[in-house]
Each structure stands twice: as structure tokens, then as C-alpha cells.
Chain A
Amino acid sequence: MKKFAVVAAMATAFLGSTSAFAVDLEVTHWWTSAGEAAAIAEFAELFEEQTGNNWVDSALAGSGTGANPVIISRIIGGDPMGATQMNTGRDAEELIQAGLMRDLTPIVEEMGGLDFYVDQTLLEPCMYEGGIYCLPINIHSWDWLWLSTAAYEEIGQPVPTNWDEYVASWPALQEAGILPFGLATGWPISGVPGVLMSGIGGSDLVLAVNRDKDASAVRGPEFRKVAEALDSLRQVISPEMMVPSFGDVGNQILAGEAAGNIHGDWLAGDLQVAGGVAGEDYECLPALGLGDQLTGGGDSFYFPVLPEGTDPAVIQAQTDLAKILISPEGQLNFNLVKGSMPIRTDIDLSAANPCMQKAIGMLDNGLLPSGDFALSSDTQQQLQDLSIEFLDDDNITVDDYIERYASIIESAD
């Protein structure tokens, strides 16, 4: 169905735009869920309308763990695509250093700089030796607690307004046979410790751990609270109740089968597609309802250096796409569907849903560096392994968890 929708959208776009000098620009991305596919189609449509070129859509399944390796292998292997999405962060760091990504500085200069970015730290991962090599196109944050209105109606309690109230409601939920915390198997758990860290541990802890890689902060009292929260969370999660994908958790929340979930704001896109209305069917609490800053990452577009002898029109198409991605129009159309925050706030966001409005308000306090953003993929992988293991194995105590987390941070780069 999703594929069909994309193909249909593409086909409609093709019909109107094929001109005599049209070139193909292959764009890879891992936006395959319903909400995501609809969002990328917005860019495709704008690109084809404004440039008359063809957007060749190469959607790859498996996101950061499945698609990212394919994208990187293709670039390293000498078969680069015209443009690709990747997470804002350090995944492409070495590709940039190896000169495999196109330097976008001239385009940026032509546009008169990037001062319109709401938070300049977003651009840091794109900078290398004075050049700029990627363009962040949205801000995603993991820091959301999603709560099911239906579940709380059933137990006759008001929907919690912060993490502590939520934890207090678990016994009543379990008594009513409702899953306190819905969870999908695999990577979705990897973001949860970071969210608990910024919500419960506070901004200073996030900066100390993620930015400064300070292992003593991990061993400190603030992080202990985070580890204890994760410990209490694992008491209410059982592998039997896990669902295959995060979209399924969204459905559980809408149906009232699960009371809550910590997941990134891209879940909002899926909730929207499934017919959920923010504030009615589900509630969203940024930073667990405790903090006033969000950890931010998001997606960026990279434009690989194309092999010698490539049609200059294709390179021009890259340039055009780069401009469209961060144009006010592109930003608005894309982010409203994607459920992410735009990288510029000089656009009219009154159409955004209540969750996004809350997040936009918090952007003024500045973004905190998320794990994606500040830690190498190697370190992220180790932390993910640790969280997955901790969640399942009750023999690993909170102390063990803290010690192992600290030793990973000690060797982090």
C-alpha cells in the first residue's frame, strides 16, 4: 500500500513535468513508513515542478541499521546516488573527510548564508575544514512521551502530565490489563535511555555525558536516577508483549491497549496517518513533561561527489535540490507531513499539530546534543547493545549498568 502510494504520487508528478532536458536524479532515503513516504513525496513534487527533472526515488528499508550501510557502501564502492538522506550526526563523518561528499559552500554563499537555521549547532556535523557538506532539513527529537487517552479513560484517571505521574499510574493500568509501556523489538529501545537522561537527569547531565564524554557524570547521582527509571521500566516490559515495529505501538496507543511509549516525534506522522488526533486520541509530553529543552538530531541531505564525466545537468539538479530542501516552501510542506520540526521558523507554522507547536516553543531554549548527534556510530552501537541487554536480563543490576555505561563513555570518541 505504502509503495503503491509513493508510486502513484511519483507517477502523477512525472506526468506533469517531463521536459526535453530532464535528467534523472536518484535520491536514496529510508522513509518507508506511511507518514514518512508521504513526506518525502512533498519534496519530490516540488523538485519536479520547479526544475523539470526526474526524481528517481530509491527508498531503502531498515533505517539506520539497514539502509545506512547500503548508502555508505554505495558511496564508498563508487556508485554514488545523486543525493541521499542520512541522520544528522557523525555517521557520514569519514565520508566527508575522505572527500566523497560534495562541498556545498558555493551554493550556501549564493543563498546568502545559513543564518535562518533556528539552531546553528545543527550545522556542526556538516562542517569540515571550513566547508559545509550537508544540509539538515528537519529537527527530530526522541524526547517524547506518548500517552493513550483511551487507556486512561478506561482506568478512570486523568492523563498524566509528566513522567512521575505516569509511573504512578502503572499499577492501576496493569490491574486493568493494559500494557503500561508499549514497545517494539530491536532499535526503538535504543533511544529510551537518552530520553530518560534529558528528562530525569536534566540538561547538564546530557551535556556532560554526550558532549563532554564525562564518565564521572555517568557514575554520579543524577545518572543513577536515570538508570533506576530504566530499571523500573524493564519491570513492566516483557518480551512476549513486544510488537514488530514502532508503528504497531502507535496503533496500540490509539486503541488503548498500551498506555504509553517513549519514541521520537516521527511516531506522530504514523499516528496522524492512522487517524489519531493529538490532544484527543493521544497526548504528547515533550521532555517527559519535566524538562524545557529537547535533545535534537534529525535528518540531513548529502550530495555525493559524482564520478568524472557526469552530465553537468545532473550536478545542476543536485544544486537545485539542495536549494529546494531548505526553502521556506519545501520546509513547510515536508515538515507538516513528517511531524518533525522545520530548521527555520520564519515560516507560517499555524497548521502544525499541537505536539509540534509545543516543540517549536521549546526550540527557543536551544537544542541539547543527542547521542546520534554527538557520539560516533560505534559508541551508539555499544550503548544500544547495552540497553537491549539490560532490558531483558534482570541479572544485570543498576550498578552494573552504570559501570558499563561509564566504561563505554570513557572509551567513546
Chain B
Amino acid sequence: MADTAVHTGEGAGQAARPSLLNRIFLHNLSGKIAAVPMMATVLIVFIGCTIWTIYFSFTNSRLLPTGSFVGLDQYERLFSTSRWNVSVTNLVTYGVFSLVFTLGFGFLLAVLMDQKIRFESAFRTIMLYPFALSFIVTGLVWQWIMNPTLGLQGTMRNLGWENFTFDWIANSRMVLFALLIAGLWQGVGFCMILMLAGLRGVDEEIWKAARVDGIPTWRTYISVVLPMMRGVLVTAVVLIGSGIVRLYDLVVALTNGGPGISSEVPAKYVYNYMFSGGNIGQGLAAATMMLLTVLIIMVPWAYLEFGGRGRR
């Protein structure tokens, strides 16, 4: 390694006038060589596969990507399929609730945790523990808890509360909230840890100043500390958001899309049509729509966040 660095240094030094070529390729050569694998990954895996996906969503490929170009046929079929439309609505509903509640509860818990309580690390571990479980395990656990005959409802009825009802998982209108409960149980702890780290990053002097000015604690949290935690908030939103878009395994384990199609999500549609349906064209059209949705949300945000010079 050291050898290479020395040679590179000499190479750069020998050139009388560093040309543009030199600046692009030779300046900090070892750093560039080290970045090549990552750049190749980005170009081939991320961008290459994305282009591949989009291209084949315009073909009538079935099991193998060999179909011919059919224009927007796959998209027409996609948007006339009630399962897809239900999936999209479900994802939006789940997404809004999930984002709001995860951030809300996460922040609230972090604030509570921040009150210099005893056994903080024990509580932190307990809260974070669900995050260590995969969505499949989470889904299976909650499937048992929420099963109307075997789970909570059955237990309570056996104990004498005859009218106790908790059948969300078997109720088309409530099943999304059953998903939400399991999702929040799994995700809130992680959000809390992020928020807690953010809270700890706030300078003690700020708190002292607020106290001197006689600002109530809750007001300090909302108006002073929260805006200072912008970076943490952005990280949390991105992580939660990406979790929402790829929501799949929780649904498969918890409800498998049921009852009926009332808890279907787009990722499951993509999987079902690509693999068990053997229709790559249709699956990729759905995948492309998912990508488009993410881009519509991400591009303006990224532009605001990183685009304007001198901001931040």
C-alpha cells in the first residue's frame, strides 16, 4: 500500500504541468483505486439493474426476460387490477400512520429515557430488543397473539370477558392497523435509540440557558431541541420510509395479504407476479411504479437538502 502511494506521489510530481487527465485519474490514485469496486457496484448493480428493470417492464416477458416490446400494456393492466390498486392504497395508509407513530412514539420514549432514570441501559435493551427480530418472526408472534380464537381475544373470553373483541387481523377494515401494531412494536425501539442519541448530542449549555430564561421543559424540547436534531430526524425518516416502501415480509408472515386482499402491499404483488405468476413483465412494471413513487418523494427532498449552495 505504502509503495503504491509513494509511486503515485512521484508520478504526480514529475508532470511539469498537471494536465486535466492527470487531475482526473492520477490525483490521489490509491483512493480512486479503492473506490473502484464501489463505483462498479453502483453502476452495474444499482443503476444497471434499474435500467434493466425499467426496460423489461415494457415487454411481454413471462418466465424469462425474452419478451418483445409492448409499450405501456403492462402498466395498463397493472392499473386496472384491483389487487394492485388496493395494495397502493394500503401502503399509503400504512406509510402515513407508521411514519407519524414511529417518530412520535420514538421521540416520546427517547425524552422519557432522557430524564436520567435508573436502569436506563436495561430499558434501552428491552425497547430495542424487538428490532433484533426479523419481520418474519415478528409477524408470526403477532399472528398468534392476534388470532381471534387462539390469541388474546380467546384468552380474555375464556377468562370471563365474553364480549372482549380483538379481531383486527380477521377484519378487512382493521387489518392494516393490526399490521401497524406489529410494525410499530418492531420499529419504535430503533427510532427511540436514534432520537436518544440526538438528544444526548444537544449541548448542556442550551438546557442551562433555557432554564435561566424560565422556559418550561416541554417547550424546550419542542421548540429548541427538536429543531437542533434535524440531522437525526432526517436519518430516522429515511430509514422508516425505506422500511415502509419495502414492506413485504411482515405482511407475508402476519396476514399473507388477507383477509381477502385487504392487506396486500405492492412488494408482494411484484413477488407474486414475477415468481409464482411467472410474469416478469407485469412484476417489473409494478416494481418500476414503486421506484417512481420513491423518486417522486426523494428527488425534491434531496434537491432541497443537498442542492442549494450555502444551505445547511
Contact = CB atoms under 8 A, between A and B. Distances in A.
Query: Are A and B genuine complex partners?
Result: yes
A68 B277 CA distance: 10
Interface string A355-397: 0000000000000000000001110111001001101110000
Given A76-B64, A388-B258, A240 B170 contact: yes
Interface in B254-296: 256-262, 272-273, 275-279, 282
Contacts of B64: 76, 94, 98
Contacts of A382: 81, 277
Contacts, number: 84
Contacts of B81: 382, 385
Nearest to B84: A385
Contacts of A95: 63
B259 A392 contact: yes
Contact of B259 (A65, A98, A239): A239
Contacts of A65: 272, 275-276
B261 A381 contact: no
A21 B286 CA distance: 50
A239 B258 CA distance: 8
Contacts of A239: 170-172, 258-260
B62 A94 contact: yes
Q: Binding site of B, secondary structure by majority: helix, strand, loop or mixed? A: loop
Nearest to B171: A239
A377 B62 CA distance: 9
Interface string A146-166: 000000000000000000000
Given A381-B272, A385-B83, A392-B258, A240 B149 contact: yes
A393 B260 contact: yes
A91 B64 CA distance: 12
A388 B261 contact: yes
B235 interface: no
B260 A377 contact: no
A385 B268 CA distance: 12
Contacts of A186: 256, 258
A388 B257 CA distance: 10
Given A239-B170, A240-B167, A94 B278 contact: yes
B148 interface: yes
B261 A378 contact: no
B62 A376 contact: yes
A85 B301 CA distance: 50
A109 B275 CA distance: 34
A123 B254 CA distance: 39
B22 interface: no
Contact of B278 (A377, A385, A391): A377
Nearest to B274: A69
23 contacts: A65-B272, A69-B276, A93-B63, A94-B62, A94-B63, A95-B63, A185-B256, A239-B172, A240-B148, A240-B167, A376-B62, A376-B278, A378-B62, A378-B278, A385-B83, A388-B257, A388-B260, A388-B261, A389-B83, A389-B260, A392-B258, A393-B261, A393-B262
Interface of A: 64-65, 68-69, 72-73, 76, 91, 93-95, 98, 185-186, 238-242, 376-378, 380-382, 385, 388-389, 391-393
For the complex of A and B, list the 5 residue pairs with the smallest distance between their C-beta atoms, beginning with the closest: A392-B260, A69-B275, A239-B259, A381-B277, A94-B63
Interface of B: 62-64, 66, 81-83, 148-149, 167, 170-172, 256-262, 272-273, 275-279, 282
